[in-house]
C-alpha cells in the first residue's frame, strides 16, 4: 500500500514536472511581446534613393498592414514606424538600435544602401529580431555577412549582373564592352556579368573604367563605340548611369549597340524618358504591367503614391505580408520561430510565384529581362517595358554551391 | 573661477546620469561629434584656420581603429591610441602642406587632400568600399571591462571625452593657446613679435587632427563600423555647421552645436520625412543671419551685458 502510494506520488511528480516543462517550453512560443507586432521601415527619404524606396516603401508597408488586418483579422495589434536614415550608417543603426531597445520593434524592412543594411543586419542579429531587406544591393548580406536573422528579399548585384549576362548573350548579342565605375561595386558588377557572358558562350571585347561621379562620359563612350561590341554594359549606378545613358544617346550609340544597365530601375527610365532610353535592356525584380494581379495591386498603389511602384515598393509590401502571415501561423513574434516558418513556407503573391527563402537568407524568385519600349509603342503613362525573358528563380540568384555564408553547410 | 569649477562639476554630474534618461548610444554619438567639433574649433575658433577637410581625420581614424581592432586583434584602448596617432600623422602631412597658404586657399587645399583620401578609402580593399568596414568587435577594456554593455562603454566614452576636453581647455588657456589667439587676431604682428607662426599653426593642426581622430576611432567602437560617410566632405561641412551654430571660439559652443545637430538628425529621422535637410538648412540660415556668435556665444554675450550693466 505504502509502496503504491509512493509510486503514485513519484508518478504524479514526474508527470507534473513533464507538463511543467512542456508549459515552460510552450509559454514563450504562445505569446506576442506586448500583444503587438511592430514593424519599422528604415529608408532614404531625403536623398538620392528616395524615389526608389522612400515614402513609397512606407506606403507599401502600410498597405500590407491594412490588407493583412482586413484578410486575417488578427487578435493582436500591428504598428508601423518609419525613419529616414539619410544614407548614413550611424543614423540608421542608431535608430534601429533604439527601435529594438526602447520601442519593441520586431521587424525592420526596406533598408536600402548597402553600408546601412550591413550595419543594421549586425544590430538585428545582436538583438535577435528580424531584418527583411528589400532595398540594398550587396551580396555580402547573404554571403560573408549572412545572419540567421536576415532575409534579402528583392534583388542583389549578382542577380542584376547575371540576368542580362546570360539572357542577352543567348539572344545573339554575344560581344560585350563594359563601362565600369572605378570602385569595388563597379568591379564586382563587371566581374559577375563577365562570368555570365562567358558561361553563355559570349565574348568580352574590353572595358573602360571611369571615376565615381564622373561628369564627362564622351571619351569613354567613344571607346565603347569603336570596340564594335554588340552590347555596352553599364557597370555603374545612380547619377553615373543617368549621365552615361544620356551621353550614349547623344553619341548615337543606341542605334547600333544595345545598352545594358546593370543597376537600372523603372525610376531611372521614368526620369530619363523613353526617347533617351529606348532599346535599353536590364533586369528587374518586378514590373507593374506584367499581369492582372500586378496591375491590380500597382493601380491601388498608384492611387496612394501617384507613382507606379518600383521593385522595392512591391517587394516591401510582399515582405511585410510574408512576415505577418508567418507571425500568425506560428503564433509568436519570436525571431527564430518566425524565421523558421518563413523559410518553410513558399511565397505566393503578386510579387513572387513560389518564392523561397533559402538557408543563407536569400529569397529566390523569378527575375525579368526587360527592354525599354520605343515612345510609339507605349500606350499609357508608365507603360515602359517589353518583357524579353523570364529568368527562373533557380538561375537568377547566386547558386548555393558558391555561397560564402558560414551558416551554409556543405 | 570657483564658479566655473562648480559649473563644470554640475555638467559632469549631469553627464554621469544622462544615460539613465536618454538613450545611451545617442549620447555616445553626441559625445563623439562634440569632441570632433571641439577639435575643429581649436583650429577655426582659436587659430583662425578654416579647414574644410576635417572629416578625413575622423574617417581615417575610424578605419584605422576598425581595421586594427578587427583584423589585427588590437585591444580597444590600443586601437584608439593607434588610430589617433595615425590621424595626427596624417594631420602633420596635410597640415605642413596646407599652412603655407591662408584663407580660402588653405580651405581648398585641405578639401582637395581630404577628397584624395576619400577616393583612396573608396578604392582600398580593407575599407569595404561603399559597404563599409563592418562588424568591429567592441572588445574588453584593459582585458577586464566588457564594452559590449552599452553602459560600460558609455562611461569609457565619457572618460575619453572629458580627457580630451580637458586637454583642449588646457591648450587654449596655456601660453601656447595665447600665441594661437595672437595669430588669429593679427598674424603679421605675431611674426614681428618673434613667434615662429608656421610652427604654431602646424602644431595646432596636428593636435586638432589627432583629437578629431580620437573622436572618429571612438565612434567606430560605439557603432562597430566605419563607413565612407565619415570621410565624406558632407561631414566636413557638418562640423563647420556644428561649430558655427554652437558658437565659434567658445569652449562649450561646439559641444552644444554637436548635440543640437546630432539630436535633430536622430529625432527628425522618423518625424518629418524628406524635410530633414531643409530644416537643417533653415537652422543654418537663421543662425548666420540672426545670431552670428552662435548659441553659446550669444548667451555669454547676454550674460556679460546683464552683469556689466548692473
Band of residue A37 on the pLDDT scale cut at 50, 70, 90: very high
Answer yes or no: do A186 and A273 share one domain: yes
Picking from A95, A140, A211, the nearest residue to B266 by CB comes out as A95
Strand partners, A109: A41, A132
Answer yes or no: do A179 and A148 share one domain: no
Q: Quick check: B248 and B291 in contact, CB under 8 A?
A: no
More confident residue, A186 or A296: A296
Strands (E) located in chain B: 140-141, 145-146
CB contact under 8 A, A183 and B269: no
Q: Is B131 on the interface with A (CB under 8 A)?
A: yes
Q: What would the pLDDT profile of B107-164 be if each residue is shown by its tens digit? A: 999 999 999 999 999 888 888 888 888 888 888 888 888 888 888 999 999 999 999 9
The answer to whether residue A332 is domain-embedded is yes
Q: What pLDDT was estimated at residue A290? A: 93
The answer to whether residue A29 is domain-embedded is no
Answer yes or no: do A230 and A141 share one domain: no
Q: What pLDDT was estimated at residue A118? A: 92
Task: Say yes or no to pLDDT of A28 above 60.
Answer: no
Q: Is B269 on the interface with A (CB under 8 A)?
A: yes
The answer to whether residue A384 is domain-embedded is yes
Q: What is the average pLDDT across B173-181?
A: 93
More confident residue, A15 or B23: B23
Answer yes or no: do A175 and A193 share one domain: yes
Tell me the C-alpha distance between B184 and B178, whole Å.
Answer: 10
Answer yes or no: do A42 and A69 share one domain: yes
Q: What would the pLDDT profile of B257-297 be if each residue is shown by its tens digit? A: 999 999 888 888 777 767 777 888 888 888 888 888 888 88
Nearest to B56 by CA among B82, B100, B108, B94: B94
Tell me the C-alpha distance between B210 and B104, whole Å.
Answer: 23
Answer yes or no: do A149 and A169 share one domain: no
The torsion angles phi and psi of A160, rounded to 5 degrees, stand at -70, -35
| CA dihedral sign, ordered A178, A184, A185, A188 | positive
User: What's the gap in Å between the CA of A45 and the closest CA on chain B?
Assistant: 5
The torsion angles phi and psi of A49, rounded to 5 degrees, stand at -100, 10
The answer to whether residue A403 is domain-embedded is no
CB contact under 8 A, B219 and A182: no
Pairing of strands A150-152, A107-110: unpaired
| Residues of the domain holding A50 | 34-155+290-361
The enclosing H or E element of B223 equals helix B197-223
Tell me the C-alpha distance between A196 and A164, whole Å.
Answer: 8
Q: What pLDDT was estimated at residue B95? A: 94
Q: Is B125 on the interface with A (CB under 8 A)?
A: yes
Q: Quick check: B66 and B133 in contact, CB under 8 A?
A: yes
Tell me the C-alpha distance between B223 and B29, whole Å.
Answer: 9
CB-side exposure of B48: number of CA atoms within 13 Å? Answer: 15
Task: Say yes or no to pLDDT of A29 above 50.
Answer: no
Tell me the C-alpha distance between B57 and A106, whole Å.
Answer: 37
The helix/strand count (H/E) of chain A reads as 15, 14
The answer to whether residue A338 is domain-embedded is yes
User: Hey, is A46 helix, strand or coil?
Assistant: coil
Q: Is B293 on the interface with A (CB under 8 A)?
A: no
Tell me the C-alpha distance between B151 and B130, whole Å.
Answer: 30
Nearest to A141 by CA among A154, A128, A60: A154
Answer yes or no: do A166 and A109 share one domain: no
Q: Give me chain B's average pLDDT, please.
A: 90
The answer to whether residue A133 is domain-embedded is yes
Q: What pLDDT was estimated at residue A232? A: 94
Answer yes or no: do A184 and A279 share one domain: yes
Q: Quick check: A84 and A96 in contact, CB under 8 A?
A: no
The answer to whether residue A3 is domain-embedded is no
In the sheet where A175-181 sits, what is the strand order? A203-210, A175-181, A231-235, A258-261, A281-284, A367-372, A385-391
Tell me the C-alpha distance between A257 and A231, whole Å.
Answer: 6
Tell me the C-alpha distance between A131 and A118, whole Å.
Answer: 10
Q: What would the pLDDT profile of A3-23 be if each residue is shown by its tens digit? A: 555 555 554 444 444 444 444
Answer yes or no: do A315 and A355 share one domain: yes
Answer yes or no: do A117 and A167 share one domain: no
Answer yes or no: do A56 and A127 share one domain: yes
User: What's the gap in Å between the CA of B192 and the closest CA on chain A?
Assistant: 47
Answer yes or no: do A250 and A315 share one domain: no
Q: What would the pLDDT profile of B202-253 be if each residue is shown by its tens digit? A: 999 999 999 999 999 999 999 999 999 899 998 999 999 999 999 888 888 9
CATH number at residue A231: 3.40.50.2300
Nearest to A315 by CA among A145, A159, A144, A129: A159
Q: What pLDDT was estimated at residue A1? A: 46
* b/e B60-91 (16+ beta carbons within 10 angstroms → b): bbbbbbbbbbbeeebebbbbbebbbebbbebb
CB contact under 8 A, B229 and A183: no
Q: What pLDDT was estimated at residue A4? A: 53
Q: What is the average pLDDT across A268-294?
A: 93
The answer to whether residue A21 is domain-embedded is no
Tell me the C-alpha distance between A221 and A247, whole Å.
Answer: 8
Q: What is the average pLDDT across B48-70?
A: 94
Q: Which long-range contacts (CB under 8 A, 24 or more apart) does A302-305 make?
A: A304/A59, A304/A63, A305/A55, A305/A56, A305/A59
Q: What would the pLDDT profile of A66-77 be if each residue is shown by its tens digit? A: 999 999 999 899
In chain A, the number of structural domains is 2
Q: Give me chain A's average pLDDT, please.
A: 88
Q: What is the average pLDDT across A120-125?
A: 94
Chain B's closest residue to A91, CA to CA, is: B266
Q: Quick check: A328 and A345 in contact, CB under 8 A?
A: no
The torsion angles phi and psi of A361, rounded to 5 degrees, stand at 95, -5
The helix/strand count (H/E) of chain B reads as 13, 2
Region of poorest pLDDT, from A274-288, A329-343, B127-141 = B127-141
Band of residue B309 on the pLDDT scale cut at 50, 70, 90: low
**Runs of H (alpha helix) within A306-403:** 311-330, 335-344, 393-396
Q: Is A293 on the interface with B (CB under 8 A)?
A: no
Q: Is B185 on the interface with A (CB under 8 A)?
A: no
CB contact under 8 A, B229 and A82: no
Picking from A55, A86, A94, the nearest residue to B29 by CB comes out as A94
Amino acid at each position: 500500500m505504502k509502496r503504491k502510494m509512493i509510486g503514485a506520488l513519484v508518478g504524479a511528480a514526474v508527470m507534473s514536472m513533464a507538463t511543467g516543462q512542456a508549459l515552460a517550453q510552450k509559454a514563450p512560443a504562445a505569446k506576442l511581446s506586448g500583444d503587438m507586432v511592430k514593424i519599422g521601415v528604415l529608408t532614404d527619404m531625403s536623398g538620392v534613393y528616395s524615389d526608389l524606396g522612400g515614402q513609397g516603401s512606407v506606403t507599401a508597408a502600410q498597405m500590407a498592414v491594412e490588407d493583412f488586418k482586413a484578410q486575417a483579422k488578427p487578435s493582436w495589434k500591428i504598428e508601423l514606424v518609419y525613419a529616414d536614415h539619410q544614407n548614413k550608417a550611424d543614423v540608421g543603426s542608431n535608430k534601429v538600435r533604439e527601435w529594438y531597445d526602447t520601442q519593441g520593434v520586431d521587424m525592420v524592412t526596406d533598408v536600402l544602401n548597402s553600408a546601412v543594411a550591413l550595419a543594421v543586419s549586425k544590430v538585428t542579429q545582436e538583438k535577435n529580431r528580424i531584418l527583411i531587406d528589400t532595398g540594398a544591393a550587396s551580396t555580402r548580406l547573404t554571403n560573408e555577412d549572412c545572419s540567421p536573422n536576415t532575409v534579402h528579399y528583392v534583388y542583389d548585384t549578382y542577380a542584376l549582373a547575371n540576368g542580362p549576362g546570360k539572357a542577352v548573350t543567348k539572344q545573339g548579342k554575344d560581344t560585350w564592352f563594359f563601362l565600369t565605375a572605378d570602385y569595388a561595386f563597379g568591379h564586382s558588377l563587371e566581374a559577375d556579368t563577365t562570368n555570365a557572358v562567358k558561361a553563355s558562350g559570349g565574348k568580352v571585347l574590353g572595358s573602360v573604367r571611369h571615376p565615381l561621379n564622373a561628369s564627362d562620359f564622351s571619351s569613354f563612350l567613344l571607346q565603347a563605340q569603336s570596340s564594335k561590341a554588340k552590347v555596352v554594359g553599364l557597370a555603374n549606378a545612380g547619377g553615373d548611369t543617368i549621365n552615361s545613358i544620356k551621353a550614349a544617346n547623344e553619341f548615337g550609340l543606341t542605334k547600333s549597340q544595345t545598352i545594358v544597365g546593370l543597376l537600372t530601375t523603372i525610376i531611372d527610365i521614368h526620369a530619363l524618358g523613353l526617347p533617351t532610353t529606348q532599346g535599353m535592356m536590364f533586369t528587374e525584380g518586378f514590373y507593374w504591367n506584367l499581369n492582372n494581379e500586378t496591375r491590380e495591386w500597382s493601380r491601388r498603389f498608384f492611387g496612394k503614391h501617384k507613382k507606379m511602384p518600383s521593385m522595392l515598393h512591391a517587394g516591401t509590401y510582399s515582405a511585410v505580408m510574408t512576415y505577418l502571415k508567418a507571425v500568425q501561423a506560428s503564433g509568436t513574434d519570436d525571431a527564430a520561430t518566425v524565421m523558421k516558418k518563413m523559410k518553410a513556407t513558399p511565397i505566393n503573391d503578386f510579387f513572387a510565384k513560389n518564392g523561397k527563402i533559402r538557408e543563407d537568407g536569400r529569397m529566390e524568385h523569378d527575375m525579368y529581362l526587360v527592354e525599354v519600349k520605343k515612345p510609339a509603342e507605349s500606350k499609357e503613362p508608365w507603360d515602359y517595358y517589353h518583357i524579353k525573358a523570364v529568368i527562373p528563380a533557380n538561375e537568377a540568384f547566386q547558386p548555393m554551391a558558391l555561397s560564402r555564408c558560414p551558416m551554409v553547410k556543405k | 573661477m570657483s564658479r566655473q569649477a562648480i559649473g563644470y562639476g554640475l555638467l559632469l554630474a549631469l553627464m554621469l546620469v544622462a544615460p539613465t534618461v536618454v538613450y545611451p548610444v545617442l549620447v555616445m554619438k553626441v559625445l563623439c561629434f562634440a569632441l570632433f567639433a571641439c577639435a575643429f574649433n581649436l583650429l577655426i575658433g582659436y587659430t583662425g584656420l578654416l579647414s574644410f577637410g576635417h572629416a578625413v581625420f575622423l574617417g581615417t581614424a575610424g578605419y584605422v581603429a576598425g581595421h586594427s581592432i578587427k583584423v589585427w586583434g588590437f585591444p580597444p584602448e590600443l586601437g584608439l591610441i593607434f588610430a589617433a596617432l595615425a590621424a595626427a600623422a596624417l594631420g602633420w602631412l596635410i597640415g605642413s602642406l596646407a599652412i603655407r597658404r591662408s584663407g580660402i586657399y588653405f580651405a581648398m587645399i585641405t578639401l582637395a587632400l581630404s577628397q584624395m583620401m576619400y577616393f583612396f578609402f573608396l578604392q582600398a580593399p580593407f575599407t569595404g568600399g561603399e559597404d563599409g568596414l563592418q562588424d568591429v568587435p567592441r572588445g574588453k577594456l584593459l582585458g577586464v571591462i566588457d564594452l559590449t554593455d552599452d553602459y560600460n562603454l558609455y562611461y569609457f566614452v565619457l572618460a575619453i571625452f572629458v580627457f580630451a576636453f580637458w586637454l583642449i581647455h588646457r591648450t587654449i588657456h596655456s601660453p601656447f593657446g595665447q600665441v594661437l589667439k595672437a595669430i588669429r587676431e593679427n598674424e603679421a604682428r605675431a611674426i614681428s613679435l618673434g613667434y615662429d607662426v608656421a610652427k604654431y599653426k602646424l602644431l595646432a593642426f596636428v593636435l586638432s587632427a589627432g583629437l578629431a581622430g580620437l573622436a572618429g576611432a571612438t565612434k567606430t567602437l560605439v557603432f562597430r563600423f566605419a563607413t565612407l560617410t565619415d570621410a565624406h566632405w558632407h561631414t566636413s561641412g557638418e562640423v563647420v555647421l556644428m561649430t558655427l551654430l554652437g558658437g565659434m571660439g567658445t569652449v562649450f559652443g561646439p559641444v552644444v552645436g554637436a548635440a543640437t545637430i546630432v539630436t535633430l538628425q536622430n529625432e527628425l529621422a522618423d518625424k518629418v520625412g524628406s524635410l530633414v535637410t531643409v530644416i537643417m538648412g533653415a537652422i543654418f540660415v537663421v543662425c548666420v543671419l540672426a545670431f552670428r556668435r552662435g548659441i553659446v556665444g550669444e548667451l555669454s554675450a547676454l550674460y556679460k551685458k546683464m552683469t556689466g550693466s548692473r
